[in-house]
Amino acid sequence: MIILREVETVQIDVPRHKLPQHMKEGTILSVFFDEEGNIANAEVLEDATESARESVQQLLEKTNRKRNFL
């Protein structure tokens, strides 16, 4: 499943074999669709994925610190 970042309420079911092999949950992709709505090209955005993972990790750490403080 692909969730559009700009409109996270939009989800598109995509067969796994149509996506890059080395991706996993949380991977950020650049996806281009053809005129029929099929995936024409999909590539992993490594820098964006790593940045998002770091942001999530920081939020989790902040939440845990607050929880331990209370």
User: What are the mean pLDDT values of the chain's consecutive 10-residue runs (70 residues total)?
Assistant: 78 86 89 90 93 94 82
Kindly report each contact of residues 25-32 with a partner whose C-beta sits within 8 Å and lies 24 or more positions away, as own/partner.
26/52, 26/53, 28/52, 29/2, 31/2
- Res 9: pLDDT: 81
Mean pLDDT of the chain: 87
Model-wide pTM > 0.85: no
Say what the pLDDT of residue 3 is. 79
